[in-house]
Amino acid sequence: MVPLEMGWRHLLFENWPVDPAVVDPHLPDALTVDEHDGRAWLSVIPFTNVAVRPRGLPASLGLPLPELNLRTYVTCDGEPGVYFFSLDAEGLLGVLGARLTQHLPYYYARISLTGADGGVRFTSRRRHPGARPAAYAATYRPTGAAFEAGEDSLARFLVERYRFYTEAPDGSLRYADIDHEPWTLYPATVDVRRNTLFAANGFQRPDTAPIRYYSPGLDVTASRSKSWDR
């Protein structure tokens, strides 16, 4: 798979602290739960990709790809990154391509992302044949002043991640590197009407209060998928 360029837009980061023992059984053996102040984190992130294309092609040739994912934070031999439990996306070709080339757990879904009173109304319902049902519906918007995550802050731990890990069908560990500028974040206000992502991925819904951030987005380059062979 060639490196990709894209934009990530209108993101909500919904982050729940959980006991590391909740997350660890769901990870490949090569990965270790990354903790912040002794807690693991599960994050639900609705957003839209824009202008997804092979690196070097003009943005006008790219494809849109609305997306919803559930992820956690890990290390592998000390290298921090993200591990995705599921990624629901609108584009059927993008879903199939990501499954085949990046070995990511993408699922086809019907997704709507529209503007709503200065914010975003986002709905997703999984339509992937044979997959567990999953649905999400929320309206979210920024509030307060923009900020960048400071050194050693929780916000930095949660959003400034530049690698994701995934497990191939043969059980081997793979990764890709992500390059982008630092995130511009806002506190977020959110009205969640439905969220079954935790149950769809074998988790109890956390009983802790989430920490939420909004970002208008940024542009991203993703490397090809590589085998972890250290």
Token code pair at residue 103: 């070995």
> Is residue 37, in this structure, part of any structural domain at all?
yes
Could you report the per-residue pLDDT of 134-143, keeping only the tens digit for each? 999 999 999 9
- 39 assigned to some structural domain: yes
For residues 184 and 147, what is the distance between their CA atoms, to the nearest angstrom?
Answer: 6
Containing domain of residue 105, as a range?
A: 4-224
Q: Find the CATH number of the domain harbouring 129.
A: 2.40.400.10
Domain assignment of residue 192, yes or no: yes
Q: Tell me the per-residue pLDDT of 20-58, one tens digit each, with 9 for 90 and over.
A: 999 999 999 999 999 999 999 999 999 999 978 888 888
Q: In this structure, is residue 230 part of a structural domain?
A: no
Residue 36 domain-assigned (yes or no): yes
- pLDDT tens figures, 160-195: 999 999 998 888 999 999 999 999 999 999 999 999
Domain count, the chain: 1
- Residue found under tokens 């914010």: 119
74-130 residue pLDDT tens:
999 999 999 999 999 987 777 777 777 778 999 999 999 998 888 999 999 999 999
Looking only at the bridges linking them, the beta strands covering 63-76 and 79-89 are antiparallel
Domain assignment of residue 31, yes or no: yes
Task: Report yes or no on 229 lying in a domain.
Answer: no
Is there a domain that residue 117 lies in?
A: yes
